[in-house]
Amino acid sequence: MAESSFGERLSVTVSARGSLCVGIDPHPFLLSSWGLPDSAEGLKAFGLAVVAAAAGRVGIVKPQVAFFERHGSRGFAALENVLQAAREAGLLVIADAKRGDLGTSVEAYGQAWLTPGGPLEADAMTVNAYQGVDSLSDTIALARHAGKGLFVLAATSNPEAAATQTARIVSGGRAGLSVAAGIVDEVIALNSSDKTGWGSFGVVLGATVTAADYGISLDSLAGPSGTPILAPGFGHQGAAFAHIPTLYGAAAPFVLAATSRAVLSAGRDGIESAIERAAEELAKCRA
Point out the catalytic residue in the list 98, 148, 195, 284.
98
The pLDDT tens digits of the residues spanning 159-171 come to 899 999 999 999 8
3-state secondary structure of 31: helix
- Residues 23-50 have a mean pLDDT of 98
User: What are the Cα distances from residue 264, in Å, to 37, 70, 88, 175, 273?
Assistant: 16, 19, 21, 42, 11
The pLDDT tens digits of the residues spanning 202-246 come to 999 999 999 999 999 999 998 778 899 999 988 777 789 999 999
Beta partners for residue 93, in sequence order = 61
Kindly report the length of the chain: 287
Q: Decide: 226 and 243 in contact? Cβ < 8 Å.
A: no
Band (287; pLDDT cuts 50, 70, 90)? low
pTM, two decimal places: 0.96
How far apart are alpha carbons 167 and 214 in whole angstroms?
9
How far apart are alpha carbons 73 and 261 in whole angstroms?
25
Active site residue 195: no
What number of other Cβ atoms are within 10 A of residue 237's Cβ?
16
User: What are the Cα distances from residue 166, in Å, to 71, 90, 163, 183?
Assistant: 35, 38, 6, 11
What is residue 271's predicted lDDT score, i.e. its pLDDT?
Answer: 98
